[in-house]
Amino acid sequence: MAGKAEAIGPRNGHELAPLNARADGSERPHGVTIVLQGSRGSLQREAPDEDRAAWSGKLQFFLSIIGYSVGLGNIWRFPYLCQQNGGGAFLIPFLIMLVLEGIPLFLIEMAIGQKMRLGSLGVWNTIHPWLGGIGISSCMVTLFVALYYNVIITWVFFYLFNSIRLSADSLPWAHCPVDNGTREAECNKASSTVYFWYREALDASPSIDEPGVPRWWIVLYLLLAWIIVFFIVMKGIQSSGKVVYFTSLFPYIVLTIFFIRGVTLPGSADGIIHMYKPKLEKLLDPTVWLDAATQVFYSFGLAFGSLIAFGSYNPPNNNCVRDVLLVSVCNALTAIYASVVIFSILGFKAFTMVETCMTKEIKILAALNVSGFTPTSSHDYYREEFDNLNDSLVAKYNLTGCTMSRQLEEAAEGTGLAFIVFTQAILKLTPAPFWSIIFFMMLLSLGLGSQIGIMEGMLCTIFDIDFFKRLSKPVITGIVCTFCFFVGLIFTTGAGEYWLKMFDSFAGTIGLVVVALLEMVAVIYIYGHVRFTNDIYEMTGYRPGLYWQITWRYVGPFIVTCILLSSLVFMLINPPTYGAWNADEVSPI
């Protein structure tokens, strides 16, 4: 109707402001609408909180999620699980658990954060005041994980700076130190890479009860790590959102460089085949399925509150279902791709170790005047004749046969893979310092990407507490980072790695699984699966069907409960332990 709009008359003693105006008379920004819900007889504002931070674009959001969920576990945990749990057959339980557990819980966290536009604490308090403890618990667990996760970044810094050398021989873990013409005894018993890790990097103590003083070089690198993290997250996604373009994309560039180089090396095909050769009988082992479920759970970074925080920065009409599916596929493919890269390099390492082993054993056999063997005998001849050797001779001189499978079955994960096994493989590449630098830069990018997400989940929860709203984000972030640095000094002692393993066993497992289970119960059974389904439909135009309903209400909670119970039982039967470095045995015990 043309002409001047009529004023709305008084109703029930209260005069309503025009729909384009606020209660104080100021005009609303364009695009803000008021939706009238007749069933409630009230006006509900469906606009985003104007004070809430928001992503600058879809790409920034996607890269932040990728940088957070694709972490160190994709590099040093997933390949190990594949190798130990049936090779290519492990992909079957992994993908099944991804569909039944990972994706449904991922969507719960993303969608509930986007709907309520609050952090973890605010979301659970909104659903029910008694559920605020879920947010607090998540924040506490995240704090513990952030403490030791930055220590891993500290160790990466140490190796990165020690990689800046002019030649392969100058890499500090290439050779054992020599004193007065004699190799250091501890290094001579172990290997140069093992010695460098336990003695030069960590200066490991005999036990957790004898930590010694903080190692000053680790303290300095830890300080550097926390300073960098502070400047990245000090302004929330306004500052961290700019960094994710590097931390998310650079690892893929490095993986591709290693892939191109790796597949051209001798032995790489053997490494890849060894890893993905399916052992279908392993599928009958329940622990394989449990490992798959656990890997999916942790690979997404569920229950930290970070995904809820990331979702809360999205506009209300963002298609979170599509985002969840894209990130899930990308996460799984990255883990598989990284495994191919890692084992192509480890296959090359095994090949060089086998060549060295055969040369050594040929010389032993030649010195013993074994018929047919000379110091110049070929490796092919050694392979042909080894099975014909006398068993007592083989046992007496500890002859191994020098097979690829024997080398490849020496599995390693975590810090052992990154700082010992892979550093040894890098020594075989030319130029070694270049490969070492880009490898540790990749680990640094992966570590920082995950740490950004971990800190964002924790800080978003803190920002939702009324008491802290009077302080600026940089101040709160500075206080948290300073606190974490001083508490983290425990990891800079000679027992630092032992403490990290204990923290990871307790703080990073049971607590997160409990929080995840409570999240599913809170959203699906207290908030209501029907209401949650309607929320997703309102935001995306897509109504979750039978698959989502079954996995949310039954399958997902059942799998998470199984993970929780099995973890508790395993912890009771086998209390968490740590491998302390024994200088005499030159191995962890």
Give whole-number Cα distances, 522 to 128, 314, 461, 528, in Å: 9, 22, 17, 8
The reply to whether 450 sits in an annotated binding site is yes
The reply to whether 67 sits in an annotated binding site is yes
**Neighbouring residues of 129: CB distance < 8 A, sequence distance ≥ 6:** none
- CA–CA dist 136, 127 (Å, integer): 15
Structure token pair of residue 290: 């449990």
Angle (CA) 440 342 172, round 5°: 40
The reply to whether 344 sits in an annotated binding site is no
Measuring CA to CA, which residue among 71, 64, 130, 70 is closest to residue 460?
64
The full 3-state SS of 316-384, as one line of letters, equals CCCCHHHHHHHHHHHHHHHHHHHHHHHHHHHHHHHHHHHHHHHHHHHHHHHHCCCCCCCCCCCHHHHHH
Peptide bond into 474 cis (omega under 30): no
The reply to whether 220 sits in an annotated binding site is no
Phi-psi region of 177 (alpha: psi -120 to 50; beta: other; left: phi over 0): beta
Largest distance between two CA atoms of the chain:
113
State the alpha helices, DSSP H only, in 368-487: 379-386, 391-396, 404-408, 414-416, 422-426, 432-463, 473-487
Q: What are phi and psi of 449, to 5 degrees?
A: -60, -45
The reply to whether 331 sits in an annotated binding site is yes
Measuring CA to CA, which residue among 440, 437, 448 is closest to residue 419?
440
- CA–CA dist 432, 168 (Å, integer): 5
Helix (H) or strand (E) holding 183: strand 182-183
- Work out whether strand 587-588 and strand 581-582 pair parallel, antiparallel, or are unpaired: antiparallel
The reply to whether 113 sits in an annotated binding site is no
In the block, tokens 């799984």 appear at: 332
Tell me the residue type at 22.
Answer: R
The CB-side HSE value for 538 (13 A sphere, CA atoms) comes to 16
The reply to whether 446 sits in an annotated binding site is yes
Q: Which residues are annotated as a binding site for Na(+)?
A: 67, 70, 74, 299, 331, 446, 450
Q: Which residues are annotated as a binding site?
A: 67, 70, 74, 299, 331, 446, 450
